[in-house]
């Protein structure tokens, strides 16, 4: 994937990132910072942490869409300015505004902290990827699957590791019936304790889609439950099928009925499945809130 649509990976829009020297520092930094903040990245070719920080800085500056610029200074070739600013270790980043240094940090900070540093200078960053994701989410909610797929793909062209875009694309693929595509996409993203709710929901939705593919349509399952209300497995499978068909309330009620009849069935399987529904639907969705209230009423009555 490229970092910017229409540009090769690693390319930057003109003038947002440039190298400077001791001779051009005044024009590139002091004069330029009267128009917008300028970040000066003091680095050296031998510096490992500098190489880690470089793509993060460029990504955040790109997302700021011209509200801030990045100037890079190789201290091996041009040590004078770093010495004048008292810089003892690299990487070091100093922000200039109106011709004066106003803030800075040292070390290879994670992207969230670099973004926070820049936002203190220019306010919240809402990049093109965020706008594309928001539009794709609206399309997905409206069942406009092709538009959603295009939107999430476009966002990933800008930010290939954006978890919201990855999760949204996976959910769109599931809506399109491409379970294997969603599975392959999510397999590329390692599971970590820091995963946000979007990735958690996408993985839960994938697991549910795989379950639904095994249980089949809900018509025959309804007949099985009608014939034998104590067939908890059939009711469980019916809940999975209902969920796959978008019948969330019916899906939750089927599992709640199992819990009401036998809380211990299948090692608390009905409650565990309901919690997976909640993960896939999202914690603040009305269907989740309503079903969670019913569950609490059963468990604590």
Cβ 271 vs Cβ 260: under 8 Å:
no
Q: What is the mean pLDDT of residues 150-165?
A: 87
| Residue 255 CB partners (closer than 8 Å, separation 6+) | 235, 236, 239, 270, 271, 273, 274, 277
The reported pLDDT for the residue numbered 42 is: 96
What 74-81 contacts at long range (C-beta under 8 Å, 24+ apart), as own/partner pairs, is 74/19, 74/43, 74/44, 74/45, 75/42, 75/43, 75/44, 76/44, 76/45, 76/46, 77/21, 78/20, 78/21, 78/22, 78/25, 80/22, 81/22, 81/25, 81/40, 81/42
Residues 89, 125: Cα–Cα separation, whole Å? 28
Question: In the chain, pLDDT over 90 holds for what percent of residues?
Answer: 69
The reported pLDDT for the residue numbered 283 is: 85
Q: Which helix (H) or strand (E) holds 38?
A: strand 38-43
The reported pLDDT for the residue numbered 154 is: 85
The reported pLDDT for the residue numbered 14 is: 47
How confident is residue 126, by pLDDT bands cut at 50, 70 and 90? Answer: low
Query: Of 38, 44, 10, whose CA–CA distance to 26 is shortest?
Result: 38
pLDDT by residue (tens digit) across 169-201? Answer: 999 999 999 999 999 999 998 888 777 888 999
Query: Does residue 292 carry a pLDDT above 70?
Result: yes
Q: What is the mean pLDDT of residues 34-52?
A: 95
User: Higher-confidence residue: 9 or 46?
Assistant: 46
The reported pLDDT for the residue numbered 22 is: 94
Give me the active site residues, please: 47, 50
How confident is residue 92, by pLDDT bands cut at 50, 70 and 90? Answer: very high
Q: What domains sit in the chain, N to C, each tagged with a CATH number?
A: 17-122 (3.40.30.10), 128-213 (1.25.40.10), 216-299 (1.25.40.10)
Quote the mean pLDDT of the chain. 89
User: Higher-confidence residue: 95 or 111?
Assistant: 95
Query: Does residue 1 carry a pLDDT above 50?
Result: no
Instruction: Please state the separation of Cα 252 from the chain's center in Å.
Output: 28
pLDDT by residue (tens digit) across 52-72? Answer: 999 999 988 888 878 899 999
**CB neighbours of residue 92 within 10 Å:** 22
């Amino acid at each position: 994937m490229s970092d910017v649509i229409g540009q090769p990976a690693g390319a930057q829009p003109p003038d947002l990132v440039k190298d400077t020297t001791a001779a051009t520092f005044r024009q590139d930094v002091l004069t330029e910072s009267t128009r917008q903040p300028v970040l000066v990245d003091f680095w050296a070719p031998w510096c490992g942490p500098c190489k880690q920080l470089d793509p993060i800085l460029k990504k955040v500056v790109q997302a700021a869409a011209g509200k801030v610029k990045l100037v890079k200074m190789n201290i091996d070739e041009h040590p004078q300015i770093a010495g004048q600013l008292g810089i003892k270790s690299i990487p070091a980043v100093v922000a200039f505004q109106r011709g004066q240094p106003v803030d800075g940090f040292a070390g290879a900070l994670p992207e969230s902290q670099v973004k926070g540093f820049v936002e203190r200078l220019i306010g919240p960053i809402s990049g093109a990827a965020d706008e594309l994701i928001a539009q794709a989410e609206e399309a997905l909610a409206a069942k406009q699957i092709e538009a959603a797929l295009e939107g999430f793909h476009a966002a990933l062209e800008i930010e290939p590791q954006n978890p919201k875009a990855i999760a949204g694309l996976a959910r769109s693929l599931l809506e399109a019936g491409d379970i294997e595509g969603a599975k392959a996409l999510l397999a590329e993203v390692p599971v970590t304790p820091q995963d946000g709710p979007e990735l958690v929901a996408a993985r839960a939705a994938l697991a549910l889609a795989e379950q639904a593919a095994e249980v089949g349509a809900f018509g025959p399952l309804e007949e099985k439950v009608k014939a034998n209300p104590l067939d908890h497995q059939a009711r469980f499978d019916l809940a999975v099928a209902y969920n796959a068909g978008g019948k969330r309330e019916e899906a939750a009620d089927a599992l709640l009925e199992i819990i009401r009849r036998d809380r211990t069935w299948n090692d608390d399987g009905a409650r565990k499945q309901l919690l997976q529904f909640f993960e896939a639907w999202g914690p603040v969705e009305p269907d989740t809130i309503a079903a969670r209230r019913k569950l609490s009423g059963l468990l604590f009555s």
